[in-house]
């Protein structure tokens, strides 16, 4: 398959930069007062605090009476302050969708407290977008982006796969996205080259590769719990060795949850992280009716065409297996999530948005609730979208509300440690030190709602 050289694509992307809005945020020092700060490292709460923010950093977290005078102050009204959340399996629109569509997706993330997104299907224009978001010229979360995916169509041989790794590293992408379709030999060549030049690789696990090889080769993150369904089918079961359909839904009758602890232990030992995207599976294979799915928060942001496409996709997936089989599939996934957390495997918050029935931003909160339903505590669920994300990226200045940390914050109206659904009660968002109050967030949402995705 012929491929356009990375250098040519980057030239095109650079030309797009002239069309980006140029309204950088101005640095200032200000105070967010009267907040209860949640320490996501241990679940403790610092009550009645003031957070001093200088530019894009937290300067200090002090008792209210110690807050410096003479600075602009925002009253947190006794709310609960957490680090900004991350969507670790996001899909950033292609340039062909237009600037407004991309901004609408970014606004949905931001208005829902998502201050970091990991773009799982990159393109050259996303490098320009990443820079604009980092400088504040474009409104939205921080973007960590892959390049175009490594798959059965883009990689024709081990040599070609290794060369593509070097091209993407030189182009400046943050990591490599693995899609299904490569042979085991091609995947190993890609993984070997990636390790040699120091660029992470993450995403799917091809059936030809298998879970064991992905763990051995140091895939930094496996998304969707891909390949675990096959590994949960015992060797003596008739379904053992069969290729998965829709992440192993067809293997539901053979999946044995008792195998989850051993797989989780092997995953933790290998140091491979997980972004389960359970929201994708609870919506597409779960018992909720189509009417219930369409009535959830955020669905009013969708146009009729997209709603229709998503409904059709759900109906197609559900038509492949009975409700009983689908529930068995979900039970096995929940058992695996619980086992991975118990084993100490790194867990990352991701919902695959925008994707089937997952509206950007809104689906992160739904994912949090489903992680808790699977056995994680509210604190563990919060850590998957804050502290764990910083650890995964190697950030020493993120994922916590503390002096010196990045000023990416979410102010909530209730304590999420008591009820994880409190993360939906957003009173304001701080992104790179810039405060967005509830009225400003509502204005963003109203704009998207008027246009529809």
Distance (Å, whole) CA 390 – CA 305: 37
pLDDT confidence bin for 16, thresholds 50/70/90:
very low
Is the pLDDT reported for residue 143 higher than 90? Answer: yes
Which tokens hold the place of 239? 């379904």
Spatial CB neighbours of 436, under 8 Å, sequence gap ≥ 6: 110, 111, 428, 429, 430, 444
Give the percent of the chain with pLDDT over 90: 94
Based on the number of CB atoms within 10 Å of its own CB, is 373 exposed (0-12), middle (13-18) or buried (19 or more)? Answer: middle
**How many angstroms separate the first and last alpha carbons of the chain?**
32
Top pLDDT among 341 and 11 is at 341
**Domains present along the chain, CATH in parentheses:** 29-83+402-451 (2.30.40.10), 85-393 (3.20.20.140)
Which tokens hold the place of 363? 């689906």
Is the pLDDT reported for residue 262 higher than 90? Answer: yes
Based on the number of CB atoms within 10 Å of its own CB, is 404 exposed (0-12), middle (13-18) or buried (19 or more)? Answer: exposed
Give the percent of the chain with pLDDT over 70: 94
- Among 213, 205, 199, smallest CA distance to 179 is for 205
Top pLDDT among 395 and 21 is at 395
How high is the pLDDT of residue 223?
A: 98
Q: What is the per-residue pLDDT across 427-448, written as a single tens digit (0 to 9) for each?
A: 999 999 999 999 999 999 999 9
Phi, psi for residue 162 in degrees, rounded to 5: -65, -40
**Quick one: average pLDDT of 149-164?**
97
How high is the pLDDT of residue 445?
A: 98
Q: What is the per-residue pLDDT across 308-329, written as a single tens digit (0 to 9) for each?
A: 999 999 999 999 999 999 999 9
Is the pLDDT reported for residue 255 higher than 70? Answer: yes
Q: What is the per-residue pLDDT across 25-63, written as a single tens digit (0 to 9) for each?
A: 456 999 999 999 999 999 999 999 999 999 999 999 999
pLDDT confidence bin for 400, thresholds 50/70/90:
very high
Distance (Å, whole) CA 346 – CA 338: 12
How high is the pLDDT of residue 22?
A: 36
Cβ(250)–Cβ(238) under 8 Å? no
How high is the pLDDT of residue 364?
A: 98
Cβ(343)–Cβ(268) under 8 Å? yes
Cβ(203)–Cβ(173) under 8 Å? no
Least confident stretch, 11-20, 25-34, 37-46, 88-97: 11-20
How high is the pLDDT of residue 4?
A: 40
How high is the pLDDT of residue 3?
A: 43
């Amino acid at each position: 398959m012929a491929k356009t050289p990375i250098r040519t694509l980057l030239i095109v992307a650079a030309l797009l930069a002239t069309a980006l809005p140029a309204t950088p945020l101005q640095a200032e020092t200000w105070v967010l007062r009267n907040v209860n700060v949640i320490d996501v490292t241990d679940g403790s709460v610092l009550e009645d605090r003031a957070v001093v923010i200088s530019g894009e950093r937290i300067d200090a977290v002090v008792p209210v009476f110690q807050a410096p005078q003479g600075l602009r102050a925002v009253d947190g009204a006794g709310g609960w302050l957490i680090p900004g959340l991350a969507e670790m399996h996001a899909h950033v629109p292609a340039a062909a969708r237009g600037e407004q569509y991309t901004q609408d997706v970014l606004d949905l993330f931001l208005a829902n407290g998502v201050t970091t997104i990991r773009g799982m299907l990159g393109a050259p224009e996303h490098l320009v977008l990443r820079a604009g978001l980092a400088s504040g010229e474009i409104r939205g979360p921080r973007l960590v982006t892959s390049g175009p995916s490594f798959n059965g169509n883009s990689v024709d041989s081990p040599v070609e796969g290794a060369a593509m790794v070097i091209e993407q590293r030189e182009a400046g992408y943050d990591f490599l996205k693995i899609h299904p379709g490569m042979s085991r030999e091609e995947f190993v060549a890609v993984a070997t080259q990636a390790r040699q030049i120091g660029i992470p690789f993450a995403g799917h696990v091809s059936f030809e590769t298998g879970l064991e090889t992905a763990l051995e080769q140091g895939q930094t993150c496996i998304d969707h719990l891909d390949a675990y369904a096959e590994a949960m089918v015992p060797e003596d079961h008739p379904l053992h060795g069969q290729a998965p359909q829709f992440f192993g839904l067809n293997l539901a009758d053979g999946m044995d949850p008792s195998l989850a602890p051993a797989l989780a232990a092997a995953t933790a030992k290998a140091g491979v992280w997980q972004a389960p995207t359970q929201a994708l599976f609870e919506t597409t294979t779960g018992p909720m009716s189509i009417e219930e799915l369409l009535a959830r928060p955020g669905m009013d942001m969708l146009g009729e065409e997209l709603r229709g496409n998503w409904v059709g996709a759900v109906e197609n997936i559900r038509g492949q297996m009975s409700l009983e089989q689908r529930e068995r599939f979900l039970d096995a996934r929940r058992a695996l999530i619980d086992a991975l957390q118990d084993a100490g495997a790194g867990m990352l918050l991701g919902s695959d948005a925008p994707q089937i029935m997952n509206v950007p931003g809104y689906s992160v909160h739904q994912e949090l609730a489903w992680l808790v339903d699977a056995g994680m505590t509210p604190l563990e669920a919060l850590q998957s979208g804050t502290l764990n994300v910083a650890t995964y990226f190697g950030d020493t200045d993120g994922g916590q509300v503390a002096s010196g940390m990045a000023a990416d914050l979410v102010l909530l109206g209730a304590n999420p440690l008591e009820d994880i659904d409190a993360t939906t009660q957003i009173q304001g968002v701080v992104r790179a030190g810039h405060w967005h109050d509830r009225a400003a967030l509502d204005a963003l949402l109203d704009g998207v709602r008027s246009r529809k995705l």
